[in-house]
A and B are shown apart, each in its own frame.
Chain A
Amino acid sequence: MDDKNKQYDPEKFKQVHLKGDDSEKLSRPQLSYWKDAWLRLGKNKGAISGLVVLAFIILIAFLGPLLNDYTFDDADYDAAYLPPKVQGMEWLGLDGMQTYEVEGSSEQDAIDRGLEGYEIEEQYIQNTEVVLTPDESENGYYTVAMEVDVYAAKGYDNEHFWFGTDSMGRDLWTRIWKGTQISLYIGFLAAMIDMVIGVLYGGISGYYGGRTDNIMQRIIEVLSGIPNLVVVILMIMLLNPGIIAITIALTITGWIGMARIVRGQVLKLKNQEFILAARSLGSSDKRILMKHLIPNVTSVIIINTMFTIPSAIFFEAFLSFIGLGLQPPYASLGTLIDTAFDDYRVYPYMLLFPAVIISLLMIGFNILADGLRDALDPKMRK
């Protein structure tokens, strides 16, 4: 040591930093990655409410059909078009009353025509109200809103169809929750198949790289160049429309997104120094895959799958809506919305319930997936 360094007076100095080991102590409680992520998810109010809504819908989707004695495919034409009726919830409008709007040259004429058209006896009319007088309307007729107790009129006084019935008199409560089950099933199945194919394909393509990667990427480019809808329609025409056909149609191009994401991650990871370290220690390919690559792409796979489920559900609904969906008597939320759409002015309840459920599912899955992305990968947060 230099002699000059010894000229200071130690009395004048105070040690401010702790020496040695003390500064190396970690004070934070120790948490694994997944526990940490779970805590972060718990703090995200949006994601938790999404989770609660989803859990609730999934629960009723399975319990709901067991709660009454109707089945989803028993037609009873006498009971067709009964509006929702729930004991004790009449104040909510679930009172089994149906409002028809009828037209006629006078108020009485309109009512008579309505009674004849809907085959209802006069005594079941609860209320009438003129909506439009001839002066206000374009065609010079009266428009009358008449509220009818359809349950009594059709002799179903003692029945309670909670969500009403459809044009064939089938109980909509049971049909809607069965439909929700099928929509969820298609969504989950499609997402799982996408995940398996996408992870394998993207993983192999990224890990082996070079020529393998080149060929596999060209195949993806060709596949994704074909319009999605064309492939789906061909598939559905080829196979009989059913759950399996629709799922296959959805996954035929659906896995591409997952494959691309996984490939990108693997490409990024495989030259990271911790992988090189494992290789220089003599790791086998299998060990690198299982211990290093997969654990580091899991979060991305989970996040992407969570976004795939709602988009599969939505795409199935879309297919149903354009007439490529499930065939009767089976129903999904999409086919229910499709049939309800024909008469939604007179029977809005038929459209309302499945539409609300599918919307809640979409919102629920998306905000949960968003929350998961924030929780699992804080760096990806916008």
Chain B
Amino acid sequence: MNKEKILEVKNLKQHFQTGRKSVVKAVDGISFDIYRGETFGLVGESGCGKSTTGRTIIRLYDATSGEVTFNGIDVHGTKSKKDLKKFNRQMQMIFQDPYASLNPRMTVKEIILEGIQIHGLIKSETEKMERVEALLETVGLNKEHATRYPHEFSGGQRQRIGIARALAVDPEFIIADEPISALDVSIQAQVVNLMKELQEEHGLTYLFIAHDLSMVKYISDRIAVMYFGKIVELADSEELYKNPLHPYTNSLLSAIPLPDPDFERTRERTIYDPTQHDTEDAEFREVKPGHWVLCTEEEYKAYQDK
């Protein structure tokens, strides 16, 4: 794999003012790079700031501080309309809730064409229809579905429509915010496989967000584990799975069910207790090449001996 960075996130913070004095530090100083063509998994329990991270990267929220550089352009710094338009086409998002992510008053055709309309990519009506049909086929839907409304589709089908909408503007980078967690287990694999195929065909880069490790570890090249607004561990999937260092990662791994009754009978879930170690002085340190952990100086030494 070539190691060209497509996205660089540096010390990104997103704090929400929720009252006169109260602030929610949804994302609190995270840094990572994503390389072109890879799938980067972002995992953490519900409410730890994963969606906020994704939405801040794609500029749905203005960052409190920190930098996001995409294809060499400072995303939050740029004011140029042209750059923003280009950015909107190059980076796209797939959403979590298939029932809330499609406008109930639009037909599938209108939904898929939205980006094409906004950017004026295709002018003629027949070409637009051809494009919609091609996209429907790409995501495994029937082209007769174009004139239907979202409420007529199942969750999995809706998610495919959402994918077609994102693909319509030919993006390079897609943020998938828990795209399968609202789906039936039987449908989850289908959608993941579709995303994998699309990645190969279109050379896509994914930021794949999930709340548990079970599916992510199969499709991600690298994984970052997030805990309360901070990334606590980042490594290649294989490495993270085999050699987890941070206690929170261990706890997440212990939660993955295996199709093995003997193992399941004896499986014990480890619960992460943040008071068990010092989190105040913790810094993000590279324990092994490419394996980063949020830890104190002492822990750092201990991890290196492992």
Contacts and interface: CB of A to CB of B under 8 A. Distances in A.
B115 A282 contact: yes
Contacts of A33: 104-105, 149
A296 B152 CA distance: 17
Chain A at the B interface: mostly helix, strand, loop or mixed? helix
Contacts, number: 76
Given A272-B100, A273-B100, A277-B165, A21 B105 contact: no
B95 A276 contact: yes
Interface size band for A: 20 to 34
Contacts of A296: 103-105
Contact of B119 (A279, A282, A292): A282
Interface in B96-138: 96-97, 100-106, 114-115, 118-119
B148 A274 contact: no
Nearest to A281: B115
Nearest to A34: B105
Contacts of A21: 142
A25 interface: yes
B162 interface: yes
Contacts of B119: 282
A276 to B, nearest CB: 6
Given A274-B102, A287-B118, A280 B152 contact: no
Given A24-B157, A282-B119, A277 B145 contact: no
A280 B88 contact: yes
A313 B115 CA distance: 46
Interface in A60-95: none
Interface residues of B, number: 37
B277 to A, nearest CB: 36
A283 interface: yes
Contact of A30 (B91, B101, B152, B169): B152
A26 interface: yes
Contacts of B60: 276, 279-280
Interface in A257-294: 272-274, 276-284, 287, 291-292
B95 A281 contact: no
B183 interface: no
A200 to B, nearest CB: 20
A382 interface: no
A158 interface: no
B85 interface: yes
Contact of A277 (B85, B95, B148, B152): B95
Nearest to B114: A281
Given A273-B96, A280-B92, 11 more contacts: A21-B142, A26-B153, A273-B95, A274-B101, A280-B60, A282-B119, A283-B118, A284-B118, A292-B103, A295-B103, A296-B104
14 contacts: A24-B141, A26-B145, A30-B149, A32-B149, A273-B96, A274-B100, A274-B101, A276-B60, A276-B93, A277-B162, A278-B103, A281-B118, A282-B119, A296-B104
Leading 9 A-B pairs by shortest Cβ distance: A282-B88, A273-B101, A295-B105, A273-B95, A281-B115, A274-B103, A273-B100, A272-B100, A280-B93
Interface of B: 55, 58-60, 84-85, 88-89, 91-93, 95-97, 100-106, 114-115, 118-119, 141-142, 145, 147-149, 152-153, 157, 162, 165, 169
Interface of A: 21, 24-26, 28, 30, 32-33, 272-274, 276-284, 287, 291-292, 295-296
